[in-house]
Chain A
Amino acid sequence: MLTILKSGIQTCIQDLGRIGFRHLGVSQSGVLDPLAAKCANILLNNPQNTPVLEITVGLCRFKFEKPTNFAITGADLCAELSGQKLTAGWRYHANAGDILTFATSKTGLRAYFAVQNGFSSLRPIMNSYSTDIQAEFGGLTGTALEDGDLLDYPSHSALSPIGAALPEYTESLRVILGPHLDILPKDNQQSLLEQLWRVLPQSNRMGVRLSNDLDLTHNKSVASQGVSPGTIQLPPNGEPIVLLNDCQTTGGYPIIAQVIDADLRHLSQLSAGQACRFVAVDRAEALHAQIKQSQHLAQLEIAVQHHNKKNS
């Protein structure tokens, strides 16, 4: 068992998301940083879609009731195992009774925590273990984890430590321009891409809300259409919303751009007050970025297998 002694601001069970049900109004959910979650799972020889804990802000404390190996990736939220400092991007062994704590960080927002072979006490809903916090299903009980929650996992003896560097998080988000950008005057279209945007406190897993001094207010509406994580909507108040995994399946605000899949992970780390900018790219570059990420994961998988063989 993993006992959630303190659940923190928001700790929830997520896998790579719920697909195939958007036409019924079911959100995708899933980890905001798939690369970090896949990396944590690869370090533990788990299938890449194994559910992990997504820890937002931190300030949480877990107790291992059985020995196992675990990995932490994503932002460095100053994790410690029974008082010993841990490094993000590494796999570790925990003994029964060990306490894992996450403090917090000024620069990062979300960390990922995975155990070897995953949690065994979960039941998939619509082919996914992801917690849909809005609709209240999935995960353990359909909500973020609460103090006292228990997650079972199989015991494992120690694997040797191994770590992997993930590509850095950046404030620049590559986007493909969207179908309704022309509702804005030409010079505003340009400024949208040149200026820095500040993250507003109302941001959450549904979307990151942005603001700056630029006046992009408008009175255009569009018929509601399919939207997905990465879609950048511009409501009439002129403050863009970058939709994230818990977003609704359709939206009626003009779509000015779409963040490329490979850069969605950067949004997982943007907390209130931080800045980001958009850089327009074409589909060829988006595809290239995606292939680069797949190669990164494939290389990591080979390296971990090699390391395991050498140390077994």
Chain B
Amino acid sequence: MSEDQNRFIADHVIGLPRSGIRDFFELVAAMKDVISLGIGEPDFTTPWHIREAAIYALEKGRTHYTSNLGLIELRREIANYVGRNFGLEYNPHNEVLVTVGVSEAMDIALRAVLNPGDKVLYQDPCFVSYHPTVMLAHGVGIAIKTEAASGFTLKAEEVKRSWEPGCKVLMINLPCNPTGGVAERKELEEIAKFAVEKDMLVISDEIYAEMTYEGEHVSIGIFPGMRERTIFLHGFSKGWAMTGWRLGYACAPAPLTEAMMKVHQYSMMCASIVAQDAGVEALRNGDEAVKKMRQAYQRRRDLVVRRFNEIGLTCHKPNATFYAFPNITSTGLDSKTFAKRLLEEERVAMVPGTAFGQYGEGFVRCSFATGYDQIVEACNRIERFVNNCK
């Protein structure tokens, strides 16, 4: 009987919410001919030269474990890339750890630093796994509100307002999934000062950095006093269209890297060597492919944002990521009802904003990582749906 078996399950796992995306996925899977704008991954296949590197690895019989930290060739390339593009210097020998995607990097970072009951500040709306990952590490999550009025930028004032005694970690995702929000340099500098003042560790997930269309991408780790208190997370899924390879990394001062490595060593052990070889090729020769994909996303973003605003769903222009986060309150529907009815009546899938946190109500996430023609058609259907709601 299920009741009997539940007694074996840990309290903090029973308390975990199911991902709102998962629920919605099941609804969509039951339908046919859906245009999905609910896909959080590039519609491009990994560039061929990267796939080719993986085939070559297999041909050479590279089928074994690697060091727990990852292949040294890859760690060197990562250190070079992060130095070149983010202005952060790390020693590839003891400050770079290759992980199974950024999700794992996030998990081991939190597990390595949190004691039960430690508090973690995180922006909201945010990627679905942030709060649950904090809970799994026996931490207590505290949401920092970001707002549409400011394009969902992370504001220092809001970080300060949300802080309370016992906050050990500030977790940020800039550019942000699902809002496309970023933070201005001066805000980030102010947040950095506050992190130093309150002696917080900052876990900075910058997986969407390559999809920055306007302005500069600034990493919080570059500000005074931040290098020693920042864990920088990045990976290959988005920029290089490598979601299925599950390849990410964490860069941090040696003691933090060592702590994360211990957790990684006893769980994942190491990332797949084939994926790591592909990662080396991606960083060595992938810049042009990344640029081309970014140009395609930017084009679609301009279309989607313009169309949403024409339709009457107010939508800020995301400076980065491949997500738009339009406000759907003009329809009089809540975000779950909007997404469900849009799916049923017009066969267009978008994810309700509430899947990404309490402050996501009133919004839906639209991924524009899909073909231009498909987006044109989806927008026409959304327009018809919104007009019917009036």
The yes or no verdict on A and B being binding partners is: no
